[in-house]
Structure 1
Amino acid sequence: MKRKLASIQSVLAIDPIANADAIELARIQGWQCVVKKGEFRVGDAGVFFEIDSVPPDDERFAFLWRPKDGSMVAQPANFRLRTLRLRGMLSQGLLMPLAQFPEIPSGLTTGSDVTEILRITKWEPQIPLNDEVDGPFLPGVPKTDEMRVQSVPEVLTEIAGKPYVITVKCDGTSATYGMNRQTGVFTVCGRNWSIKRGTNAYWHAAEKYGLEALLGRFPQWIIQAELVGPGIQKNRLGLKGIELRVFNVYDQERGRYLDHDEAAAMLATHGLPMVDVLERGESFAHDQASLLALAEGFYPGTQNEREGLVIRPQTETHSLVLGGRLSFKAISNRFLLKGGD
């Protein structure tokens, strides 16, 4: 499912904020954000911009980066919507009146994606590695990007009562390894592109774990992992060298992900590290609040906030809500408030 960075949403609730005369809290989908007092009423439609959204350099958004004195400044190059705490309340994203965007067609309804109409892009972290783009991503292989539970709260109903597994989300960068079925060439990819062979961290990990030889023997497998270690993000796992934490094994011949236990057995056999399991059970019963609470914690052996969790059924399951596999994430609010990406 493609993430809706900007969408039309209805206000589900308005809550007062103690000792705040000018602002109040609006609840949209599974999110909450601070708005001007009186700007919205319950049931009103607005345009909701999720965290990590990068708005265009447009006068309607200039209040986000303009100094309090009102002086004209250009949009900062690294600007994006982030998680904030205002008057003690968590505020995630931005809600603006629908009337401010006349370019949105009048027939669109709640839930409609207006990301492209409003020229909203997604902020992506840049890792300081000497990697170079070699070409497109591996053909026929799904890219890695889970939806946040706040954006698709309906997934909680889909997974309820099912055997489940919750794994720790590592704060690194996505890496995909496999044989290109069209060319027969071992290929290393970042999140969106293949990476040239070289001394970069992606290829260093491939060599460290012998992935070219392994996947040459088993060309049906695609390994998707978080690349972590020094020089990647802030190395919150406190590692001394570049490592992988595998979160997906995809069978490109059959067009399916391996179930959790299948993947765990395969990875153990070949000495590949899997992401840590935080919780496993036979009947999923979490709600959004309990998942976000569970997401908070430290990476082992550190005082660094972990990024969050990934939640899946133990057996691969199709999601009607997501239009694909049933898999989603819960990001720690403590991590976000402390500057996590």
Structure 2
Amino acid sequence: MKRKLASIQSVIAIEPIPNADAIELARIQGWQCVIKKGELRAGDLGVFLEIDSIPPDDPRFTFLWHNKKDVESTERPAAFRLKTVRLRGMLSQGLLLPIQQFPELIRPFVTGTDVTEILGVTKWEPPLPEMEDIAGPFLPGVPKTDEMRVQSVPSVLDELAGRAYVMTLKCDGTSATFGIHQDTGEFTACGRNWSIKRGSNTYWRVAETYHLEKSLQAHPHLAIQGELVGPGIQKNRLGLNCPQFRVFNVYDQQTCCFLGHDEAVAFLNEIKVPMVDVIEEGLSFDHDMESLLALAEGYYPGTQNEREGLVIRPKTEYQSPTLGGRLSFKVISNRFLLKGGD
């Protein structure tokens, strides 16, 4: 499912903020954000920009950066993006504006309509690797790694309800995919969006450490995806002494399906490659948004570093009507976001 960075959403509720005369709290989908008091009421439609959105250079958005001490111009700073912040003690995630401010949007307005392209909203991305490391396109036929945040798709909780499930730790690293190119038979290492040249970079050092080329040549239909973690990767919040690989997906290139949890565990045990840590599993999922956000918070083992969050899936693969693909979503720790996590 493609993420809707900007969309038309209905206000579920408006709540007062103690000791605040000019602002109040609005709830949209599973999100909450601070808005100007009296601008919207429950049931109203608004334009909602999610966190990690980069608003366009447009007079309707200049208030976001115009009052920053290090910004003298009304022109948007190049690195500006919407982040999780705390205002008057309240968590605010995203931006909600009245739909009347956007006359370019065509009636009738429908809740959930994606208006990202119409408004020129873009997504913030971490810096790409050095161009000399890029070899070419991503491994053909293998889905790129990405998960929707539960706040954007709260109905997935109903889809998972009652099913056997597994929650795994979301490692704060960089995404990596390894597999055999089905046309050329060549072992391929990929970052989030591109294949990486063979060399002394972290991807290939990790591939050598875990003997991934030999293992996957013996199972050429399977590709593995996970996080590279360790020194020099993000902020090394796991506190590791050397680069490591933690797998979260095993993908069958012949059937075009991900392996279920137990199958993936068995395969990774066979090739001696570690899987991401399991935080919780059970026979019948019964969590709500509040309990998941509480579970997402915590520290990486052996550290005082906030963990990024959790990824939640059924133990047996299931196609989600909401997501238009596999049922899988992430819950990011609000403590992690407030302390500078991306």
TM-score, structure 2 normalization: 0.96
2:309 aligned partner = 308
| Residue 42 of structure 2: aligned partner | 42
Counterparts of 2:105 and 2:175, CA distance in 1: 34
After superposing the two structures, state which structure 1 stretch, 248-257 or 56-65, moved more: 56-65
Deviation per residue, 1:280-320 (Å, 9 max, x gap) = 11110100000000000000000000000001111111111
Q: Distance in 1 between matches of 2:92 and 2:67?
A: 20
Measure, in 1, the Cα distance between the counterparts of 2:213 and 2:134.
19
Partner in structure 2 of residue 265 of structure 1: 266
User: Which residue in 2 is equivalent to 1:116?
Assistant: 117
Per-residue Cα deviation, 1:158-178 (whole angstroms, up to 9, x for no partner) = 000111100000001111111
Write the letter of the residue equivalent to 2:121.
Answer: I
Q: Percent identity?
A: 70
Other-structure match for 2:60? 60
Q: Compared with structure 1, are the counterparts of its residues 68 and 173 closer, same or farther at alpha carbon in structure 2 (3 Å cutoff)? A: closer
What secondary structure sits across from 1:24 in the alignment? Answer: strand
Secondary structure of 1:95's partner? strand
Aligned pairs for 1:1-16 within 5 A: 1-16=1-16
What letter matches 1:85 in structure 2? R
Equivalent in the alignment of 2:254: 253
SS at match of 1:294: helix
Within 1, Cα distance between the matches of 2:200 and 2:115?
A: 40
1:51 aligns to 2:51 (yes or no) = yes
Q: Report SS of the residue matched to 1:60.
A: coil
Q: What CA deviation, in whole Å up to 9, does each residue of 1:12-51 have, x standing for no partner? A: 1000000000000000001000000000011111110000
Instruction: Could you tell me which runs of 5 or more consecutive residues in structure 1 were left unpaired when the two chains were aligned.
Output: none
| Cα distance in 2 for residues equivalent to 1:269 and 1:238 | 27
Higher alpha-carbon deviation: 211-220 or 159-168 = 211-220
Deviation of 1:126 (Å): 2.2
Q: 2:208 maps to which residue? A: 207
When structure 1 is superposed on structure 2, of 20-29 and 50-59 the one drifting more is 50-59
**Aligned residues, how many?**
341
For 1:180, the equivalent position in structure 2 comes to 181
- On the 8 A contact 1:296/1:306 being kept in 2, the answer is yes
Indicate the residue corresponding to 2:339 in structure 1.
338
Shift of 1:234: 0.4
In structure 2, give the amino acid aligned to 1:133.
Answer: I
CA RMSD of aligned residues (A): 1.5
Gaps of 5+ in 2: none
Q: 1:172 to 1:184 in 2, by over 3 A?
A: same
Matched, 1:79 2:80: yes
**1:194 CA displacement:** 1.1
User: What residue number does 1:148 align with?
Assistant: 149
Counterpart AA for 2:232 = G
